[in-house]
Structure 1
Amino acid sequence: MLPALAPFPKGLTQAALDTLMPMHVALDAAGRVRATGPTIGRIVEAPFGAPFFDLFAIRRPEGIGDPATLRARAGERLFLRSRGAEGTFRGVAVADAEDGTLVNLSFGPGIIEAVRRYGLTEADFAATDLAIELLYVVEAKSMIMEELRTLNVRLRGAKNEAEQQARTDPLTGVRNRRAFDLALDEVLSGQGARPFGLMHVDLDFFKAVNDTLGHAAGDAVLRHVATVLTQETRTSDTVARIGGDEFMVLLPNVADRARLFEIAERVISQLSQPIDQSGKRCQVAASVGLWSSVGAQGPLLNTEILAQLDAALYAAKRQGRARACFAPDGYGSAWPSRP
């Protein structure tokens, strides 16, 4: 049978201790729990009369494992671990007037995690505890950091959107001349391991559409061309309107002349079909200049490649329009309209 527990120290009520030290544990002379503060009572199951060292292990200073040693080390900083709850505590013990011990605990650096884990609020701490101010600071910092993260995401999104707009043709939605030049420069910088092909598409009879049916019809034709080129190529290819009725297509890893010519013929066939624009018949055709990196000699320059591509395009037009031609000799391919 357990001996009778000593009464609580006279002169200081339990209510007063609960207010001043909501994380305290009061022990009798035998080291048994006589009372606990409301906050520590929520976290650690410490029934009346339970031995303190069954509930807590003192990690530092070493060698404190009984009530007498705990009283003898009164005033020293304690580092404790609860045997039944998560987390660690800091504390200090003092002897009371009845040979008992009063241990006051705190969360130390783990307070933020403890607040989250146990759902603690301002009411769980003493009014003078600076933990409240710390929690306010941490909460404010968290809110500010979240606002900054949100702002950064929005800024990155706006930047990406602005960059996309700067590289997009507003009428057709495909890439513009600047985007095409950047894509060509990129593939040229790795040309040794990455063959590629180019298509220069120029519309035939487009001026007649604009002159007879109006610019709205001409715009509809340009959007239709962009759609056809996008459908006949891959997502990894670059389709760009470089001005007026001219389009460029960059096809990474597609340098086989037969395959390039096949793609060009499909495009020419599609664009030769009449286009209905608000009941009006729009008829255009397309001439295509082709270029392949296969057989190209020496370092390739952007301007030289485009000059050869232009020559191929004009050769296609001289052959009767609605045709495709390859770039001339010296750049790995021949003049005839078929490979």
Structure 2
Amino acid sequence: MSDETYPSYDLLDVLCPMHAVLNASGHVVHAGPTLQKVFAGKPLIGERFLEIAELRRPHVAETMAGLRGCHGARLHLRLRDGVRTGMKGVLIALPQGAASLGPPGGAIINLSFGISVVDAVRDFGLNAGDFPATDLTIEMLYLIEAKSAAMEASRKLNLRLQGARIAAEEQAYTDTLTGLKNRRAMDHVLERLMQTEQDFALMHLDLDYFKQVNDTLGHAAGDQVLQNVARRILAQTRADDLVARTGGDEFVLILAGVTARARLSEIATRLILCLEEPVMYNGQECRVSGSIGATLSCAYETPDLARMMEDSDLALYAAKARGRACHVLYDPALRADPPLHGTD
């Protein structure tokens, strides 16, 4: 195999950095810098070309004579090892006589990646400097890079917008003072429970003696009491229960899956006990308690939200009428002798 170097090689390296020069036996005697980069760490020089690349079209004998017969034709090839990237090529058969651009009887094959260029850039770590200055591949790479940058910017913008939307939705469903859910969130959860026909308990809690805290210590003390009450209620409920502040000192609890009266009574008793612990404000004790009215969706043949809210409210005022700091589970008998509505 001749190691002779031809002056044309330097010219080919610049104009066709993906070329290979074959000698008369079909072995690679020279390769452009980009092709060498593609074969980095793999044998190339001295290898038989048809053993490192598969000629897929045209279908000819896998010999040097077969290759030379493809003079000027468009070749479809694929690397045989590693990343089996598809390539396009054109072959120029060199004269058999005196040397010209390369070994007599040899050939020059100029290769390109065609539509596989994006994958090739990624797989072989190529960049714009690996292609001829006039190659449209460079323009395409710039467009791909610009598109990728634009898509990344769009992705980040969408993430920010999504975050802002989630934050806005969360804010729309949250009571700003206590961090609990608000009436809008309560309505949303109740509607979902009704649609899915899931049983739940509805508990209406109203603070006792809260007005006295506001009147004697001011609204800042009242706000601190409300925030403390919110934390205590959350501590006594499950993560999937909904606790909403629906008015000044009014709270609604939605307890999904609760159907037993004894279980509901136990939860209400625990809540009332924890609310009776005093709240300290500027060294002074703020004492409140809680009255609770509740109803169970399973107690209705066909649950109706408006009726359930009305019944839990009726049970709440019955608890107020019985001396506060107690709970009442709705009973139809309450409608026969409805309690008077108290104010605190």
TM-score by length of 2: 0.89
Which ranges of structure 2 fall in alignment gaps of 5 or more residues?
A: 96-103, 339-344
Q: Tell me whether 1:200 sits opposite 2:204 in the alignment.
A: yes
Q: Which residue of 2 aligns with 1:68?
A: 65
Query: Pick from 241, 248, 254: which aligns with 1:237?
Result: 241
Aligned equivalents of 1:56, 1:189: Cα separation in 2: 64
User: 1:328 Cα shift?
Assistant: 2.1
Aligned equivalents of 2:210, 2:305: Cα separation in 1: 28
Contact 1:5 1:28 in 2 (8 A): no
| Equivalence map 1:311-326=2 (5 Å) | 311-326=314-329
| Equivalence map 1:66-215=2 (5 Å) | 66-86=63-83, 87-97=85-95, 98-191=104-197, 194-215=198-219
Structure 1 residues 183 and 85, CA, compared in 2 at 3 Å: closer, same or farther? closer
Contact 2:128 2:141 in 1 (8 A): no
Aligned equivalents of 2:19, 2:65: Cα separation in 1: 18
Q: Give the residue type in structure 2 aligned to 1:100.
A: G
User: 1:121 Cα shift?
Assistant: 1.9
> Secondary structure at the residue paired with 2:207?
strand
TM-score by length of 1: 0.91
Contact 2:181 2:245 in 1 (8 A): yes
Contact 1:256 1:294 in 2 (8 A): no
Structure 1 residues 5 and 228, CA, compared in 2 at 3 Å: closer, same or farther? closer
> Secondary structure at the residue paired with 1:172?
coil
> Secondary structure at the residue paired with 1:294?
helix
Structure 1 residues 22 and 309, CA, compared in 2 at 3 Å: closer, same or farther? same
> Secondary structure at the residue paired with 1:34?
strand
Q: Percent identity?
A: 44
User: 1:283 Cα shift?
Assistant: 1.0
User: 1:240 Cα shift?
Assistant: 0.3
> Secondary structure at the residue paired with 1:162?
helix
Q: Which residue of 1 aligns with 2:290?
A: 286
Structure 1 residues 75 and 330, CA, compared in 2 at 3 Å: closer, same or farther? farther
Aligned equivalents of 1:195, 1:135: Cα separation in 2: 60
> Secondary structure at the residue paired with 1:58?
strand
Query: Pick from 28, 35, 39: which aligns with 1:40?
Result: 35
Over the aligned positions, Cα root-mean-square deviation in angstroms equals: 1.9
Aligned equivalents of 1:82, 1:185: Cα separation in 2: 62
